[in-house]
Amino acid sequence: MIGVKALRLALLAAGTAGGLSGAAYGLLNGQAGHARRVIGPPAAGPLRADGVHLPGDVGPVPRAELPAGTRPLEFAVLGDSSAAGLGVDFPAELPGVRLARGLADELDRPVALRTHAIVGTTSRELSGQVEAVLRNPPEIALILIGANDVTSQLAVSTSASLLGKAVRELVAADVQVVVGTCPDLGAVRPIPQPLRSVASRWSFALARAQRREVEANGGDAVPLADLLSPEFLARPAEFFSPDNFHPSAAGYEAAAELLLPVMCMAVGAWQGGPLPAAPTRSEAAEARRPTSRLIAHLNRRLHHHRPNP
């Protein structure tokens, strides 16, 4: 589970970079404690709906029920609570299920979902999930990781390097890899200012480092914080679950809509339109690199892979 307690890393970063006074550090530390009490622990663990999903939002169904000779696309989900879908009320709302059914519709082919994601996972624990996946390598894997790295005080360089290693090992096994980079912890409203801005800067720093490592090792990175933070900030009641921290069904749906085109591109099929341009927030303009070139790059790849009419 993502824990606000670990926003002390952001406090440490702010203190190192800007020389926090004792009073300022005490203020931010007190804000972290308040946010932790407001957010609280999740009421229950994530749901599961692994199995074969069919076009038309059908599934999961047993493999034995598939027609003879039918081979589903093998799809694995790795990462933390966001990958596991913590915060939704129904299996159909899980991000893995949304994406499996989206792939099935785009490919007109069954998709077999296997979820290896574990609540509370950091990039340090990701290797265990990779090892499990590689016992029977899928054709495509999605990784959602990063928030717990911030909250557990894992250095940005270490976190990104561990993710790069995971991507490299999967790609070496002929697995197509798509990574949703670290979300914006500054979008969590129970975290007060100025702590929220500090957390946001740290989140975007990690997301940038993750993107570099993912692309350098043969995967595709989707900058979820850049693309989704404005929506989460504008509509928190809709996009956050009752625990005030994890996404709601609407939040996961928004993420899935961004991830699906890139995943279809990775397996060589996308029939939809171009990816949207990335919105920006002026308050974090200095803390993030523009993603317009990344989106343009992905759109070019989508165009290259789109089947001829």
pLDDT in tens, 137-181: 999 999 999 988 877 778 999 999 999 999 999 999 999 999 999
Which range scores top for mean pLDDT: 21-30, 67-76, 212-221?
Answer: 212-221
Q: Tell whether the model's pLDDT for residue 232 goes beyond 90.
A: no
Report the range out of 40-54, 70-84, 268-282 with the highest average pLDDT: 70-84
pLDDT grade for 303, boundaries at 50, 70 and 90: low
What is the reported pLDDT for 301? Answer: 54
Q: What is the pLDDT of residue 270?
A: 63
pLDDT of residue 129: 98
- Where residue 295 falls among pLDDT bands split at 50, 70, 90? low
Q: What angle do CA 113, 119, 122 make, to 5 degrees?
A: 105
161: annotated active-site residue: no
Q: Is the dihedral of CA 101, 107, 113, 116 positive or negative?
A: negative
Active site residue 246: yes
Please report the pLDDT score of residue 6 as a whole number.
44
Parallel/antiparallel/unpaired status of strands 220-222 and 176-180: parallel
Query: Comparing 90-94, 217-221, 281-285, which segment has the lowest mean pLDDT?
Result: 281-285
Tell me the pLDDT band of 59, cut-offs 50, 70 and 90.
confident
Q: For 11-16, what is the mean pLDDT?
A: 44
The set of long-range contacts for 154-161, using a CB threshold of 8 Å and a minimum separation of 24, is 154/9, 154/122, 154/123, 154/124, 156/202, 156/205, 156/206, 156/209, 157/209, 158/123, 159/122, 159/123, 159/206, 159/209, 159/210, 160/123, 160/206, 160/209, 160/210, 160/212, 160/213, 161/213
Task: Out of 50, 184, 220, 243, pick the active-site residue.
Answer: 243
**What is the structure's pLDDT at 262?**
93
Which residue among 50, 53, 80, 81 is the active-site one?
Answer: 81
pLDDT in the model for residue 73: 96
Assess whether pLDDT exceeds 80 at residue 26. no
Is residue 10 within 8 Å of 195, Cβ to Cβ? yes
Percent of the chain clearing pLDDT 90 (strictly above) = 48
- Known catalytic residue at 197: no
Choose from 190-194, 213-217, 234-238, 299-303 the range with maximum mean pLDDT: 213-217
116, 184, 229, 246: the active-site residue: 246
According to the model, what pLDDT value does residue 268 have? Answer: 83
- Going along the chain from its start, the domains and CATH numbers come out as 4-305 (3.40.50.1110)
96-109 tens-digit pLDDT:
999 999 999 999 99
Q: Output the pLDDT for position 207.
A: 95
User: 132 vs 21, which has greater pLDDT?
Assistant: 132
Model confidence at 3, in pLDDT bands (50, 70, 90)?
very low
Q: What is the pLDDT of residue 199?
A: 77
pLDDT band at 17 (very low <50, low <70, confident <90, very high): very low
Lowest mean pLDDT among 37-41, 50-54, 243-247: 37-41
